[in-house]
């Protein structure tokens, strides 16, 4: 699908032009960065979802160290875009926790974290999603795939960005038919209890801050040090997370 | 080793009685919770380390949303103990980021996070350590094993605690001879790039906030919701992370 076709189809869903731009930019960048399950193929998926194309995310609290947003029925992409814009327009001098309630779908978390790091902020971002991962011993799904993204600015230009989902495959892979539903388990094989524990910890962290619906939690802070160039030098050309 | 023997041997290293109590309680609890590589066996390891038994951690900055501590040559256990005591004595009403510079060794991170959650705080805690994990494609060690611990209070009594190191085995296992050094790689087998990416992200997060020496980063916040009982009910008896 081309970006132009994606724009046309998203406009037909009733989304405003500026919201369509946010979505298409996110999907196209996900495709460019090899995250095709969050890419333009999501347009067809969105066409099958029920959502209010006119809903707007709202910042419902702004405390000294803390923002709370409510997706309020808007697509999670639009909530995270609004969160990023607010933080980049007025970058906090102290660390800040942002809780975005009712925030789904959130797309490729690493892209939001990267944008914040390109603006000079360290970002740690996680999000819950519908329960799809079972316990390594089996049973019903207990957690979302609950990715964790961390982005750190670098004086050499490109931030370092890690973005890891706790599933062995993605739900997008299952939707695309490139993975079977039963492959959507915590990654790690004999160490799957580790990925499962991470998924549970993140599920409960987000749940305790944001409630039972899928939501996102973001920590931003200004860096005091510049560790990326030294790590890149030590890696001596090996590909690091988030590298093109 | 008994706790009494551990106390005697730690006292002989020149540690003050109250510091010895902190260490022995941490080691004994690690043993009780199946984290033997952070247990009383560490006493013999400490006897072989060079450290100043009289060094005291210092809080060097206390901002609105942020504390900075300096281990100042003290054992990391003592720094994290001081951090926990300060947060539990005067629990912050807003989210708070705590950076503990020069904080090593940190022991079983889940135990510190559990203590904070028993005091009513959500805790997310990570720490760097000497570089031991190579890239999945090989090469020199690039990151520490960089555990991530998350603890969430629960109205049913016990907090939920996940505590995951990114190594397939622990350095303690290697020290104890139960694992070979070449097994100390990112966990996950064919998905080892995921555990490696998590280790890199946490390494750079801590490095950007605390500098190049091993250090710890902690986020605490008060919960607004109580998600643990519902997850335990859904798990229907399956063991969840941190359960006894």
Chain B residue with CA closest to A191: the answer is B188
Residue of B128, B137, B144, B205 to mutate, interface with A, max A Cβ within 10 Å: B205
Whether B242 is covered by a domain: the verdict is: no
Residue B175's pLDDT is 80
- Decide if pLDDT at A176 tops 80: no
Residue of A61, A70, A95 to mutate, interface with B, max B Cβ within 10 Å: A95
3-state secondary structure chain A: CCHHHHHHHHHHCCCCHHHHHHHHHHHHHHHHCCCHHHCCCHHHHHHCCCCCCCCCCEEEEECCCEEEEECCCCCHHHHHHHHHHHHHHCCCCCCEEEEEECCCCCCCHHHHHHHHHHCCCEEEEEECCCCCEEECCEEEEEECCCCEEEEECCCCCCCEEEEECCECCCHHHHHHCCCCHHHCCECCHHHHHHHHHHHHHHHHHHHHHHCCCCCEEEEEECCCCCCHHHHHHHHCCCCCCCCC
The mean pLDDT values, 10 residues at a time, for chain B of 244 residues are: 97 98 98 93 95 97 97 97 97 97 97 98 97 96 98 96 96 86 96 98 98 97 98 96 89
* Domain identity same for A200 and A109: yes
* Domain identity same for A157 and A61: yes
* Domain identity same for A202 and A231: yes
CB contact under 8 A, A234 and B142: yes
Average pLDDT over residues A64-75: 97
Q: How confident is residue A2, by pLDDT bands cut at 50, 70 and 90? A: very high
- Decide if pLDDT at A171 tops 90: no
Count of structural domains, chain B = 2
* Domain identity same for B185 and B100: yes
pTM: 0.98
Tell me how far apart the alpha carbons of residues B50 and A10 are, in angstroms, rounded to a whole number: 63
- Decide if pLDDT at A231 tops 80: yes
Whether A242 is covered by a domain: the verdict is: no
B128 neighbors B146 (Cβ within 8 angstroms): yes
Q: Choose among B97, B148, B188: nearest Cβ to A188.
A: B188
* Domain identity same for A136 and A189: yes
* Domain identity same for A36 and A74: no
Q: Which has the higher per-residue pLDDT, A171 or B139?
A: B139
* Domain identity same for B86 and B103: yes
* Domain identity same for B60 and B138: yes
Whether B241 is covered by a domain: the verdict is: no
* Domain identity same for B211 and B117: yes
CB contact under 8 A, B197 and A122: no
Domain boundary residue among B13, B38, B54? B54
* Domain identity same for A48 and A60: no
Whether A193 is covered by a domain: the verdict is: yes
Whether B240 is covered by a domain: the verdict is: no
Residue of B121, B153, B167, B194 to mutate, interface with A, max A Cβ within 10 Å: B194
Domain boundary residue among A54, A70, A90? A54
Classify B237 in phi/psi space as left (phi over 0), alpha (psi -120 to 50) or beta.
left
Distance, in angstroms, between A155 CA and closest chain B CA? 12
Residue A103's pLDDT is 97
pLDDT more than 90, % of chain A: 94
Residue B174's pLDDT is 87
Whether B244 is covered by a domain: the verdict is: no
CATH number, position B199: 3.30.1370.60
Residue B176's pLDDT is 77
* Domain identity same for A102 and A7: no
**Which residues form the domain of A222?**
56-235
* Domain identity same for A75 and A47: no
């Amino acid at each position: 699908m081309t970006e132009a076709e994606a724009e046309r189809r998203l406009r037909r869903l009733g989304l405003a032009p500026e919201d369509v731009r946010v979505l298409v930019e996110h999907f196209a960048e996900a495709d460019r960065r090899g995250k095709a399950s969050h890419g333009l193929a999501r347009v067809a998926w969105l066409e099958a979802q029920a959502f209010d194309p006119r809903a707007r995310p709202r910042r419902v609290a702004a405390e000294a160290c803390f923002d709370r947003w409510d997706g309020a029925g808007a697509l999670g992409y639009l909530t995270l875009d609004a969160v990023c814009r607010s933080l980049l327009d007025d970058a906090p001098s102290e660390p800040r926790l942002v809780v975005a309630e009712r925030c789904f779908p959130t797309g490729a978390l690493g892209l939001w974290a990267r944008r914040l790091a390109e603006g000079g902020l360290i970002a740690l971002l996680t999000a819950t999603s519908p329960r799809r991962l079972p316990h390594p011993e089996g049973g019903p799904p207990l957690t979302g795939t609950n990715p964790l993204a961390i982005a750190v600015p670098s004086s050499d230009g490109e931030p370092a960005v890690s973005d890891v989902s706790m599933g062995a495959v993605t739900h997008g892979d299952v939707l695309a038919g490139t993975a079977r539903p039963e492959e959507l388990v915590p990654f790690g094989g004999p160490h799957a209890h580790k990925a499962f524990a991470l998924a549970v910890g993140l599920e409960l962290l987000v749940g305790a801050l944001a409630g039972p619906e899928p939501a996102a939690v973001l920590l931003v802070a200004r860096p005091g040090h510049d560790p990326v160039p030294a790590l890149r030098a030590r890696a001596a050309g090996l590909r690091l997370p988030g590298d093109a």
